[in-house]
Amino acid sequence: MKRRDALFGAFVLFATGMMSTTPLWAADQSDEASKASAPHEMRLSHDKVVEISFAAARAGRSDVLEGLIAHGVDPNLRDSKGDTPLILATYYNHLDTVNMLISHGAEPCGKDKKGNTALMGAAFKGESEIVRRLSQAGCPVNTQNDVHQTALMMASLFGRTDTVKTLLELGADPTLEDSSGATAISLAEAQGNSAMVDLLEDATKKYKASHH
C-alpha cells in the first residue's frame, strides 16, 4: 500500500507540474512536498484529489485523468456542487476526455445538485457532437432538472441552432414545460429569435402528429 501511495503522490506532483507553472500552483506543490519527510510518506487529501482531477477535466488533460484513475481515483468524484470530471469535460468541450472517462466507468448521465446533466451542459454550450455522444451512451434527451428545464430549452434559449436540430433528431420533446410554464418555443420568442421559433414550431407540429 505504501508503494502505491508513493507512486500516486509522485504522479500527482508530476501531473500538476505539467498542467500549470503559475506561482500559486508551484507554491502549493512545494507545500505538499514539505509536509512529507520522504516521498513515500506523501498523502493527498480528498479535496486535493478533487482539485487536481477537476483541473485536468477543465483542461482536457485525458492523460492526467487516466493516470489518476489508474491509481485508484474514482472517475465519478463529486465536488460540493455535485459536478463530476465528466460534467466539466463536457462543459469545456473536450470530447476526447469525455470518451476516455466513459470508457473508464464514468457515469455519463449523472446529475449535479440542481439536477443538471452533462448533456444539458453540452446543449447550453452548443456542443452538438458531445450531445450526440452522451445520447449514444444512454442519456435521455428529455431529462428535466430540478426546475423542469430540458437540454432543448437550454439550447433554444441560447440560440444553439445546430444543437437544437441534433436534439430534435434524437427525440427531444419540444412540448415540455419547465416549472414556470416556459417551453423551448417561448424561450426562443423571449430572445427575439424568429428563426428558432419557426424551427421549433415546425418540430412541435411533427412531434404532436407522431405522438397522437
Residue in the structure block whose three cell numbers are 503559475: 22
Residue in the structure block whose three cell numbers are 457532437: 129
Structural domain contains residue 143: no
Q: What is the mean pLDDT of residues 159-163?
A: 98
| DSSP string for 52-121 | HHHHHHHHT-HHHHHHHHHTT--TT---TT---HHHHHHHTT-HHHHHHHHHTT--TT-B-TTS-BHHHH
* Residue percentage of the chain with pLDDT more than 70: 80
What are the Cα distances from residue 90, in Å, to 30, 180, 185, 192? 31, 27, 25, 28
Overall domain count for the chain: 1
CA atoms within 13 Å, Cβ hemisphere of 30: 7
Query: Chain-centre distance of CA 147, in angstroms?
Result: 19
- Residue 15's pLDDT band, with cuts at 50, 70 and 90, is low
Question: What is the per-residue pLDDT for 78?
Answer: 95
Any bridge partners for residue 25, and if so which? none
Give the number of residues written for the chain: 212
Structural domain contains residue 62: yes
pTM for this entry: 0.81
Structural domain contains residue 102: yes
Structural domain contains residue 82: yes
Higher pLDDT: 62 or 42? It is 62
Q: What is the mean pLDDT of residues 61-80?
A: 95
Structural domain contains residue 151: no
Cβ–Cβ < 8 Å for 203, 168: yes
pLDDT (tens digit, 9 = 90+) per residue, 43-58?
678 889 999 999 999 9
Determine the number of helices (DSSP H) and then strands (DSSP E) in the chain.
12, 0
Lowest mean pLDDT among 34-43, 65-74, 152-161: 34-43
- For residue 209, pLDDT over 80 is answered with yes
Question: What is the per-residue pLDDT for 44?
Answer: 74
Residue in the structure block whose three cell numbers are 508513493: 6
The domain spanning residue 67 has which CATH number?
1.25.40.20
Q: What is the mean pLDDT of residues 61-70?
A: 95
Non-local (6+) Cβ contacts of 194 within 8 A are: none
pLDDT (tens digit, 9 = 90+) per residue, 113-141?
999 999 999 999 999 999 999 999 999 99
Structural domain contains residue 96: yes
Structural domain that includes position 49:
1-107
Structural domain contains residue 49: yes
Structural domain contains residue 195: no
Q: Is 116 left (phi over 0), alpha (psi -120 to 50) or beta?
A: beta
